[in-house]
Structure 1
Amino acid sequence: MTQGRLDIAALLLRYAQAEPPEDVRAVMNLSVLDWAACGIAGQREGAFADWAATMTSGGPATRLDGRTGTVAEAALINGTLSHALDYDDTHFAHIGHPSVAVVPAALAVAEAEGATLREMVDAALVGAEASVAAGLWLGRAHYQIGFHQTATAGAFGATVAAGRVLRLDPDQFRYALGLCSTMASGLKSQFGTMGKPLNAGLAARTGVEAAMWAQAGMASTPDGLAGPLGFGETHHGAGDDVPFDWRMDTVSHKFHACCHGLHATLEAVRNTPLRDARQVTVHTHPRWMTVCNQVAPDTGLGAIFSYAHVLAMAAFGLDTGDISAFTDSCAQDPSLVAWRGRVQVVPDESLTEMQARIVVDGTTYTHDLDSPLPIEARRKRIHEKARALVGARADEIAQAIEDDDLARFAQLLTS
């Protein structure tokens, strides 16, 4: 570790051993419900279901596709399927999707170890916090150069989540993080393809494997993150100082079935007639220009990363909160394709990643996502979203979480 720089491994270990505050745990309970609904809906995607079906080894861990698997296999499949729709939570502190990496890791290990659901949630929570902290430590340069924080920082969070359930000692944790540092990977070039959800699954599997291997006695460099030729140095990490803090209470849940970078824009014009607009100019933070500004997507996956297309959908009255609306035929609809030519997207350094300013024929509309909903309002919207995704099963899943019933929770993922 470079002298004077943060010992990031020690910070992640502190999260691994911490007792979460109740208010943050309450938000994580909602994220687990949100994750489950997104995963159940995601496993219905034909191409992803076909991919998961190629892995049929059996084992102690529940898979969202209705099978069981090894711990690492279940983490991989569940992480991928739960991110298949790109409808899961996002933390804007580092621009990553925490739950799809850490919940599958915590769940798979918890089932194998006979842990309680509360223990699983706590492990997922400290893993999510660790992933955000790791992402902040890696910094903006890491993300901007092309690395996917869900995959990279998420893998370290998944390692912390799995290691907490396994009760790794401090030396084992450092070895696990060191092993993770030589495996973590994932590129933003996969956005708009099946490779993006796979990044989440790989992060979950990496965390499980790193923790289990360290428990089994595999050693590694004790400072694989900040040490010489470590992950930070070789992956454009800035090594920024990061204070210990709880941040998952400010996680942002999706209420539009597209990239979170588009949500401030959609919220800004939610009640605005757009169909007859002649010119729509979107002002957004420059970071989103390489993430969700596909100008002419021709697939449903591409459409969820396109300002022009989601605005065209809104203009024509299509529900951007409806996953089934994002189809290849929608992306290729001649009327929408023609309308999206009215949209211009420009970078604006005066805005944060959470803000958008939209000018519609000279009239300006703005929105800022950086104001988390009060817990009851958040609970209401997440329950409504979960019911829309999985029907009455959403209420049963919420009850299983409240009852600390891991077996019932796992059963509901596949019933």
Structure 2
Amino acid sequence: MSQKKIVVTGLGATSPLGGNVPDSWSALLAGESGASTLDKDWVARYELPVTFAAQAKVPAADILERVETKRLDPGSQFALIAAREAWADAGAPDIDPERIAVDYATGIGGIWTLVDAWETLRERGPRRVLPMTVPMLMPNGPAAAISMSLSARGGARTVVSACASSTESIANGYEHLQAGLADIIIAGGTEAAIHPLPIASFAAMQALSKRNDDPQRASRPYDVNRDGFVLGEGAGAIVLETEEHALARGARIYAELAGGAVTSDSFHITAPDPEGSGAARAMLAALDQAGAAITDVGHVNAHATSTPVGDIAEYNAMARVFGDHLDSIAVSATKAATGHLLGGTGALEAIFTILALHHRTAPPTINLDDQDPSIPLDVVTSPRDLGQQQLLAISNSFGFGGHNAVVAFRSV
């Protein structure tokens, strides 16, 4: 069966760099950091060893109606903001609601709702637990909120695969459009887990940076002094449709979603396969679906969390895939600026990858002072012109459980 050409016609995000896509992109190009010291009483109360994170630049309450913030977990609030921006950016298409679908994701779900409800139950009893607790905490809450807000009745699917979640949802959106299950899909992911429990847990496993005195420089992918990731929050959403459908309604096209793939390491619940074999298979499969050669790839938005073992494992995977061509690929590690949005990170990085192709500019990797000699990548440290030729770019996402997801975009 011949493959349809799938294109991106709308972008939306709320991130540690900005409350929308243009502001997030501008701050990224300017080399800004979204990390800051947490001004929360619970940091001292729980004596947390890490006292900073990358919080959303614009609080959801500044954008949404009060009733929405009361009835939605923060993760769903971010999702709704991103999806509405993406939908408006795509021209708010007037099509049959049964032909609009949602492929959305989260890595953890409504942790604020869950833990708050547990504390209410323990301290005040069952009668004080809110009736909306379960709808607010369930991982499919963000997809449901988007579906109801945009009258999307063609399906609202949820992926929960840790930090690979939203990239996997984008790959699923590609497949669902190929299968003709919808005419338009809103895909992406969200996370709102800057909460004492995840911070304490990630810190206990030595995953978080402990640069409490210098949070803006804490996330430093590929640097010899990297010591862990910075926890972030926010959401991203992209509108996908077939090229035929987009052209028929006169939509602006940012880029082609040329392919996507998912594999698993079957290695360790938290550590990546150090050889990167599963991640390499995902990259190769995405390129195969895109009908592309490795030499077509000119840009990679790397997963690059700033952990000592994770960055090397991803480099090993890229070296297996690209060989000598790796020297010709401009690599951006944007978590240095945004922190790690867990289940929302792939969606935000897909948007940055799309914009890199659209504007022919690879965004910078900040905080790289002394590059690890065991990771000899061509890392972009200031905005770089990608040229005007047709270009393929990939965005990598890897998660606890050995989940690997890769999406490939082609310039138009």
Comparing both structures, which one devotes a greater share of its residues to strand? 2
TM-score bracket, normalised by the shorter chain, equals under 0.3
Comparing both structures, which one devotes a greater share of its residues to helix? 1
TM-score by length of 2: 0.27
Question: More relative contact order in 1 or in 2 (CA 8 Å, sep 6+)?
Answer: 2
TM-score by length of 1: 0.27
